[in-house]
């Protein structure tokens, strides 16, 4: 990655995330921390108002230029927004379509033709059938519950039994074509496939 591209990446990372330190930036940019320190010095020397307080921050981001995507970046977003992971749940699929429409409406005229041509040369075909309405509903409920950090009860059905369990939902995980809930029960993390969860209620 060219230094100019890396400096722009650092600016966008600092604009979009909080409290990033040199180690975080080094991992994102795939360079050493020493290089990051030199980059921060270069940005400061160019009068970019960066300061450190538990992580690097901007005094203001008003000076930053608008985001300008390259054809490759737009193509990556197009592929990602049409992936199996997104296609697997109705609410994600709908959000992806809206997001892609917004992005494509912002494509500069100078690269619109190249982007359209590149997109026509790539077919993204989902191998996974869409999850049923039950999974989509459970997915949406769990998202809301996790935001509120609430304890829940859920009933899940396995090949052997049907059980009601109380847990603290921690994360949603997509693996090998299926969505799972990672939930904490006492001090242990257990995983439940969303299509085995039949009811979710606040504890």
Cβ neighbors of 48 (< 8 A, separation 6 or more) are 11, 58, 63
Instruction: Note the pTM of the prediction, 2 decimals.
Output: 0.57
Q: What does each of the 203 residues of the chain score in pLDDT, given as a tens digit? A: 788 888 888 888 887 777 899 999 999 999 999 999 999 999 888 888 888 888 888 776 555 556 678 888 888 988 888 888 888 888 888 888 888 888 888 788 888 889 888 888 887 766 655 555 667 778 877 877 777 777 889 888 877 778 898 998 888 888 888 888 899 998 899 999 888 888 888 87
Instruction: Locate 125 and state its tokens.
Output: 């075909």
Q: Which of 150, 148, 135 minimizes the C-alpha distance to 181? A: 135
- Tell me the CATH number of domain 133-202, given options 2.130.10, 2.40.50, 2.30.30, 1.10.3470: 2.30.30
How far apart are the two ends of the chain, measured CA to CA in Å?
A: 50
Q: Which of 67, 41, 66, 50 minimizes the C-alpha distance to 14? A: 50
Domain segments of the chain as ranges: 3-58, 71-120, 133-202
Q: Which of 54, 4, 65, 61 minimizes the C-alpha distance to 29? A: 4
With beta carbons less than 8 A apart as the criterion, state whether 78 and 102 touch.
no
Which CATH number applies to 3-58?
Answer: 1.10.10.10
State the Cα–Cα distance between residues 29 and 36, nearest whole angstrom: 9
Q: What pLDDT is stored for residue 38 in this prediction? A: 93
Cβ neighbors of 106 (< 8 A, separation 6 or more) are 69
Q: What pLDDT is stored for residue 41 in this prediction? A: 92
Q: What pLDDT is stored for residue 189 in this prediction? A: 93
Q: What pLDDT is stored for residue 14 in this prediction? A: 85
From residue 201, give the alpha-carbon distance in Å to each of 91, 194, 195: 20, 14, 16
């Amino acid at each position: 990655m060219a230094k100019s591209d890396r400096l722009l990446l650092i600016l966008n990372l600092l604009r979009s995330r909080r409290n990033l330190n040199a180690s975080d930036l080094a991992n994102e940019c795939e360079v050493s921390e020493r290089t990051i320190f030199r980059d921060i010095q270069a940005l400061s020397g160019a009068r970019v108002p960066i300061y450190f307080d538990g992580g690097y921050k901007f005094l203001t981001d008003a000076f930053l230029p608008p985001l300008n995507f390259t054809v490759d970046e737009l193509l990556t977003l197009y592929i990602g927004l049409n992936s199996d992971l997104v296609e697997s749940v109705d609410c994600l699929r709908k959000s992806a379509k809206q997001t892609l429409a917004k992005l494509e409406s912002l494509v500069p005229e100078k690269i619109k033709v190249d982007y359209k041509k590149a997109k026509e040369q790539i077919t993204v075909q989902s191998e996974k059938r869409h999850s049923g309405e039950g999974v989509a509903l459970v997915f949406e409920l769990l998202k809301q519950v996790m935001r509120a950090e609430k304890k829940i009860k859920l009933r899940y059905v396995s090949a052997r039994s049907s059980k009601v369990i109380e847990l603290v939902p921690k994360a949603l995980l997509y693996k090998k074509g299926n969505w799972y809930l990672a939930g904490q029960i006492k001090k242990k993390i257990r995983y439940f496939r969303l299509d085995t969860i039949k009811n979710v209620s606040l504890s």
